[in-house]
Amino acid sequence: GNSVTQMEGPVTLSEEAFLTINCTYTATGYPSLFWYVQYPGEGLQLLLKATKADDKGSNKGFEATYRKETTSFHLEKGSVQVSDSAVYFCARQGGSEKLVFGKGTKLTVNP
Amino acid sequence: SQTIHQWPATLVQPVGSPLSLECTVEGTSNPNLYWYRQAAGRGLQLLFYSVGIGQISSEVPQNLSASRPQDRQFILSSKKLLLSDSGFYLCALEGARDTEAFFGQGTRLTVV
């Protein structure tokens, strides 16, 4: 079936460190790919998305590129801030397939 | 624009009591709707999804049920809550292709 495999955390970084959270997806069909962020006590909100191969989504300094050849959508940020501390979810969505999420990665950024 | 409303925000219920969480959406018709549970420190567990009125698919056998009495209403229920039902419940509206999903603000359920 369709699935999303996400790097499990927790991830702890110092402020201004480089962040990578890996995400791979099953290659059924032509899904759209998303990263969502969940701040403490809140629901999920969209961080960025990419709808076709080689697209790059970006927002708030975060980036992810839709790589069809490696079926990946890794999240990166060059310099994290304390305010980036949250749980990050990778997701795929497409056609008649269910919306599928990775297990989430908790990021803690220390000052 | 599409919006999703979920309530209540927090709920404390005794073991054995019933549960009803409601989710309603606006700005769209015939949406795919989802219920997820997020236990403390864990990822999202898909509980139910619905592609239309009266159409419910269950992902995990459990003490919960879901119903979709109207196109824009999705209800999560239980006849008798267990301690293990505690968690953060999220309703989600699947966007059209190439658009993001929308989430309710969640319900923090504590079963005591």
**CB B47, CB B58: distance < 8 Å:** yes
Q: What is the pLDDT of residues B9-41, one digit of tens each?
A: 999 999 999 999 999 999 888 899 999 998 776
Q: What pLDDT sits at residue A2?
A: 64
Pairwise CA distance, residues B59 & B71, whole Å: 21
Pairwise CA distance, residues B82 & A48, whole Å: 37
AA identity, residue B108: R
CA distances from B32 to A73, B35, B38 (A): 24, 11, 20
Quick one: what percent of chain B has pLDDT higher than 90? 68
DSSP one-letter code for B12? E
**CB A22, CB A37: distance < 8 Å:** no
Q: What is the pLDDT of residues A8-44, one digit of tens each?
A: 889 999 999 999 999 999 867 778 899 999 998 788 8
Token pair of B58, please? 């269950």
* Chain B, nearest residue to A37 by Cα: B103
Best mutation target among A44, A47, A92 (most B Cβ atoms within 10 Å) is A44
Tell me which of A25-29, A74-78, B61-65 is least confident: A25-29
What pLDDT band is residue B87 in, cutting at 50, 70 and 90? Answer: very high
Residues in chain A: 111
Best mutation target among B89, B91, B100, B108 (most A Cβ atoms within 10 Å) is B100
Q: What pLDDT sits at residue A95?
A: 58
Pairwise CA distance, residues B49 & B47, whole Å: 7
Out of B32, B44, B92, closest to residue A104 by CB: B44
Q: Are B97 and A32 an interchain contact pair (Cβ–Cβ within 8 Å)? A: yes
Q: Above 90 in pLDDT, residue A98?
A: no
